[in-house]
Structure 1
Amino acid sequence: MTSTVAAVPDEQMYRILLIEDDQGDALLVEELLHDTGLRFELTTRTTLAEAHAVLAGSPIDCVLLDLHLPDVSGIDAVTAVRRRAPHTAVIVLTGLSEAQAGANAMAAGAQDYLVKGKVDGELLRRTVRYAVYRSKTERTNAEAQAARLRAEENARLERGLLPQPILDTSTVRVTSRYLPGAAWALLGGDFLDVVEGDDGLLHAVVGDVSGHGPDAAALGVFLRIAWRSLVLGGHRGNDLLHLMERILIAERGSQHLFATCTLLTLDQRAATATLHLAGHHEPLLTTAAGTQELAAAHGMALGVVPGLRRWPSTVVPLPASGALTLYTDGLTEGHNGATGERLGVDGLLGLIGELPTTDPAEHVDRLIEETHALNAGRHSDDLAVLRLDWGSPGTHGEE
């Protein structure tokens, strides 16, 4: 039932569930609610089982709970309601002889208690309003705390997914970006890295662990650190990918996660790039003539068929100056907000062709902004972009 009383102005509508098996007491509570001047919707149930159905089916602001019900009594009633509706205010109704019951109920999670026979409209009004206010405040604080902990965890994982490149003598300019998926800034398993080996060659990786969340992100960090350690230890090509796959299988446990990645070795002296694609797509080559996708042989994603060890290499000649862009599919899996079609590589190349030639870091940022705009804000997948520029004067370091 619903009743509106204007004696005490209150814009909020309070959705109240009364759990009371005594019809006389239930009628008294209803009359007192009318005396409060609150705008309310009252639902009455006589058992906890019936109340559970209400709590599961509709939002409730406040539960008025009798401690003696046919199917539960005492503190167990409070605990059961709090378990079913942890963010709903609970006010316990006690008898005159239950001096300690109210305090025990609050210790069990109730916001307040009222003694039957000692309640008037004004007391009930204040109690309901303050209980609902405290419950909402507790919920807001809990959500803020959860968001803070989630942000701290994401920040730690992101530092592992987006490391500082190790560059000694290389004049290649490195631009890297990592963005988590939109929902709760949820990290996934995208990862990237760049190191200069003792051989003077520049080695880069971009990869993507299937799935989202902390497990995928942690596995991405494991693979990124493993790749860096193995490269600095002299491992290359198929041997490197085989060891990364062994690490993935060991760390994924019972979860059937797999990973795709592109390995790139840039040799400026020989003007070549050597590619190994493990279930990942090809990089983009940008020259004065424009941007195109490189043609390269494909191999199996890591962890899909363990032990196959089939990752063919492709050697690509490079111009005297240019840029290579490695990226995860978060850059192409979005949809054009106007047409609804998937952007894809062709759409990405068309978009790159329309962007003005600018500073590499600014170009990557503009590209990400444009793809997000076309996707009409539906950014749900993780995104990692790594761009390597060479041959231009003054290019050294990382952004």
Structure 2
Amino acid sequence: MGSSIGVGSQRRTAAPPQQRTAFPPRLAPVAETDESLALWNGVPPYILLIEDDEGDAVLVEELVEESGIDVRLGRARSLADALRLLEAEAPQCVLLDLHLPDAQGLDGLKEVLGVCAEAAVVVLTGLSEERAGLGAVAAGAQDYLVKGRLEADVFMRAIRYAIQRKHTELAAVAVQSGILRAEENARLERGLLPTPLLLDDPAETVQVCARYQPGRAQTLLGGDFYDVVQTPDGATHAVVGDVSGHGPSEAALGVCLRVAWRAFVMAGARDAELLRLLEQILLAERSGAEIFTTLTALSRPAGATSVSVQRAGHPGFLVRSPGEVELRLVPGGPALGIMPGWGPGWPVTEVPVAPGGAVMLFTDGLIEGRIGPGPARLDEEGLLEIARQQADLPAEPFVDSLIQAAQGLAADWGGLADDVAVLHLEWNAPS
């Protein structure tokens, strides 16, 4: 692993130190085919030398100059100076002396890696310190070089290879991180976006059309969730909810609330009791007091001509009848977790649904996309206007057209930033 290369041991007079020195390129031999040169990409790499000995620093500067490779060479005389420079600009490579006025041995290496983990680190050791160099590589350095055995061409090649190894290491970490993120997404998706639990032989059928779309900035599913359950009495129960914030913790909380909702419904909890139980779960499981959840829940007995709706800080919903669409904003209460133990509870409102009609619940990601300069948003009225233009479409093209229209209106401002969950329900008597 270590590079052991030779130069005379004569100490040279130190030149005035430079914070950063630019060395112009020389013409390399025509036979040079070193693939690691591709790492430069035409941009001189920045190499930070951390060395308190002026003679050794001059030697490194001369080796860089003699190599003919165009680089920017920075210099720090102590670990404290180096940490300040590393915070200002991350180098491609750090040349680190193991004996500094304020750091000895591997302590300096640990500090450098802690501040600039993406830089390749090459440790500079003395003639009798090869074991220390091997220890540095085991602790995270890419390579070590032995002072007093340095030649320009091999010196720079060792640095290039160290940078290449670091790039390979970072790429491998990124790939593994992507695999883990995809696996986590799949697990969260199974929890947030369930298969509706419907009766095998119901008195009437419920047609479910559900859609979920992550926001543009999310690499993980957010906390939007939905669920549909038919209980043995033939009633349909549905919920659409949105956990505030984004990230794996919020998504996991959304899964928890969705599973709890299904369990409570199947156990017979209804109306205000159901939402109070969900709020208790939220308070017990959330990561901070600032986390809350909005939702709309509805129930419909078999054969009924209306749905019972509760709203907790959530947007309104659409009611469809043949050729018509209406926006309904029923009375509600605060989002779960905003005012724990809120006295009045969440009122239940009966909303008529005509035979052959349907309802569509959605999260605010569908209506809060920016569609114009300043604070212009689609909002519920804008969604209603689009929905009325598509009123005659069947469920799936109707839902898809609304999402596509919202995306198109927000396209010039980066698309829909928040997650979108949509749940469309329609009931039909069996033929």
| TM-score bucket (shorter structure) | over 0.9
* Alignment gaps of 5+ in structure 1: 395-399
Instruction: Give runs of aligned pairs for residues 236-255 of structure 1, distance below 5 A.
Output: 236-252=270-286, 254-255=288-289
Instruction: Give runs of aligned pairs for residues 16-31 of structure 1, distance below 5 A.
Output: 16-31=47-62
- For 2:394 and 2:22, the matched residues in 1 are separated by 64
Distance 1:350 1:370, change over 3 A: same
1:356, distance to aligned residue in structure 2 (A):
7.5
- For 1:192 and 1:390, the matched residues in 2 are separated by 18
Summarize deviations over 1:334-385 as a string: whole Å, max 9, x none.
1015676111111212232344844422332332232223222343322211
Summarize deviations over 1:162-195 as a string: whole Å, max 9, x none.
1110111242210111223333423222111001
- For 1:345 and 1:152, the matched residues in 2 are separated by 35
Instruction: Give runs of aligned pairs for residues 32-51 of structure 1, distance below 5 A.
Output: 32-51=63-82
Corresponding position of 1:375? 410
- For 2:249 and 2:43, the matched residues in 1 are separated by 42
Corresponding position of 1:225? 259
One of 177, 184, 188 as aligned partner of 1:153: 184
Distance 1:356 1:315, change over 3 A: closer
- For 2:97 and 2:183, the matched residues in 1 are separated by 42
Instruction: Give runs of aligned pairs for residues 306-345 of structure 1, distance below 5 A.
Output: 306-307=340-341, 308-337=343-372, 341-345=376-380
- For 2:130 and 2:278, the matched residues in 1 are separated by 66
One of 166, 176, 185 as aligned partner of 2:197: 166
1:253, distance to aligned residue in structure 2 (A):
5.9
Matched, 1:14 2:49: no
Corresponding position of 1:271? 305
One of 390, 398, 401 as aligned partner of 1:366: 401
One of 126, 129, 149 as aligned partner of 2:157: 126
* Alignment gaps of 5+ in structure 2: 1-20
Matched, 1:2 2:27: no
Distance 1:23 1:327, change over 3 A: same
2:103 aligns to what SS in structure 1? coil
- For 2:387 and 2:355, the matched residues in 1 are separated by 21
The answer on whether the counterparts of 1:14 and 1:38 sit within 8 Å (CA) in structure 2 is no
1:79, distance to aligned residue in structure 2 (A):
1.5
1:88, distance to aligned residue in structure 2 (A):
0.5
Corresponding position of 2:96? 65
- For 1:123 and 1:361, the matched residues in 2 are separated by 65
1:389, distance to aligned residue in structure 2 (A):
2.4
1:392, distance to aligned residue in structure 2 (A):
9.2
Instruction: Give runs of aligned pairs for residues 207-218 of structure 1, distance below 5 A.
Output: 207-218=241-252
1:281 aligns to what SS in structure 2? coil
Corresponding position of 2:424? 387
Summarize deviations over 1:279-334 as a string: whole Å, max 9, x none.
21221112233322114111222222222251111111111112211011011111
TM-score (norm 1): 0.93
The answer on whether the counterparts of 2:48 and 2:95 sit within 8 Å (CA) in structure 1 is yes
Distance 1:132 1:207, change over 3 A: same
Percent of aligned pairs with the same residue? Answer: 47
The answer on whether the counterparts of 1:238 and 1:309 sit within 8 Å (CA) in structure 2 is no
TM-score (norm 2): 0.86
Number of equivalent positions? 394
One of 338, 348, 353 as aligned partner of 2:383: 348
Specify the code of the residue in structure 1 equivalent to 2:377: R
1:91 aligns to what SS in structure 2? strand
Corresponding position of 1:397? none
- For 1:281 and 1:108, the matched residues in 2 are separated by 54
Distance 1:357 1:60, change over 3 A: farther
